[in-house]
């Protein structure tokens, strides 16, 4: 383990490589500061009405940022692939109207310009954590990046993926633990909170946790969200859908706006114990 620590210590992501911890400013919303930043919204942008309804409600409950997928990485070519640029336009419009920064996924280096135009921070999904061409190009843009851990990536590989972006000159990187693949059948993934704690210990980057993909089970989102904050996470990204049973993807793990509102109330006192505020 010592040799791993030594390796990380020579990297740009290493905690000791900077005098202070990195704070990532997403259009005024600071990740890695005093506030625990909660990002909420649907898995995929499906309609303007539903997105507006969701945004209105999650903002009311205390969400700091709005999520929504326009380019969707789907296992099957026959599944709903997202609305593409049309979805981006909708997302940006609602974010503007609600005064919330927005986040969406970029799946291909060719799409960096269009996603950058509409999104305030670019998400690299778990399936692209090892897409080194994409990472290199994201190192050269002037927008923050949220980097999800690959579903079978080690912590070292995850930090090296972030290093690709920092080495390119962009140090506005947020790490996101979203669960790893395992043999467990009950949950969709196995959320590895020790990876989040380790990333906090080793690097100067903010670290958030995705309890929705991390478990794939609605009833586990709240306990894992609370656990993530107790483990030291700087934020959460949570799937919320006004009508989960009709969602085109990930309905099983999406909270209703009402459930999200309860979640926000539950994490607030845990945040306070950790010296953080949620709103």
Residue 157 within binding range of its own copies, rule CB under 8 A? yes
Tell me the pairing of strands 37-41 and 65-67. Answer: parallel
Residue 110 within binding range of its own copies, rule CB under 8 A? yes
Q: Considering the complex, what minimum distance in angstroms separates the CB of residue 173 from its own copies?
A: 13
Strands in the chain per DSSP E: 24-26, 29-31, 37-41, 65-67, 102-105, 121-124, 145-148, 173-177, 207-209, 235-239
Residue 36 within binding range of its own copies, rule CB under 8 A? no
Select from 20-28, 85-93, 158-166, 242-250 the region that touches its own copies (CB under 8 A).
158-166
Residue 119 within binding range of its own copies, rule CB under 8 A? no
Options 27, 60, 140, 152; binder of its own copies; rule CB under 8 A: 152
Helices 218-230 and 257-273, packing angle to 10 deg: 20
Residue 195 within binding range of its own copies, rule CB under 8 A? yes
Residue 38: C-alpha distances to residues 8, 117, 268 (Å): 28, 23, 11
Residue 197 within binding range of its own copies, rule CB under 8 A? yes
Binding residues for its own copies (CB under 8 A): 1, 4, 71, 73-78, 107-111, 127-128, 130-134, 136, 151-152, 154-157, 160, 163-164, 167, 180-187, 190-195, 197-198, 200-201, 214-215, 217, 219-220, 223-224, 226-232, 252, 269-270, 273
């Amino acid at each position: 383990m010592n040799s791993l620590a030594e390796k990380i210590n020579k990297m740009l992501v290493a905690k000791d490589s900077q005098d202070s911890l990195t704070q990532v400013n997403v259009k005024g919303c600071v990740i890695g500061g005093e506030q625990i930043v909660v990002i909420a919204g649907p898995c995929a942008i499906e309609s303007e009405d539903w997105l507006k309804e969701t945004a209105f409600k999650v903002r009311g409950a205390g969400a700091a940022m709005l999520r929504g997928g326009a380019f969707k990485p789907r296992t099957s070519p026959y599944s709903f692939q997202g609305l593409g640029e049309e979805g981006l336009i909708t997302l940006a419009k609602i974010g503007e109207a609600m005064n919330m920064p927005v986040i969406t996924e970029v799946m291909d280096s060719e799409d960096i310009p269009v996603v950058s135009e509409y999104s305030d921070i670019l998400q690299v999904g778990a399936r692209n954590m090892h897409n080194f061409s994409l990472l290199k190009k994201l190192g050269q843009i002037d927008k923050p990046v949220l980097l999800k851990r690959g579903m079978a990536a080690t912590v070292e590989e995850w930090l090296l993926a972030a290093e690709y972006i920092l080495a390119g000159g962009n140090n506005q990187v947020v790490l996101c633990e979203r669960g790893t693949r395992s043999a467990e059948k009950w949950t969709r993934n196995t959320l590895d909170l020790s990876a989040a704690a380790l990333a906090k210990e080793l690097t100067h980057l903010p670290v958030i946790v995705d309890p929705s993909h991390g478990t794939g089970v609605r009833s586990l989102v709240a306990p894992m969200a609370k656990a993530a904050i107790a483990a030291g996470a700087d934020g959460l990204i949570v799937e919320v859908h006004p009508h989960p049973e009709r969602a085109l993807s990930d309905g099983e793990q999406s909270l209703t706006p009402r459930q999200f509102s309860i979640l926000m109330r539950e994490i607030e006192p845990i945040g306070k114990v950790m010296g953080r505020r949620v709103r």
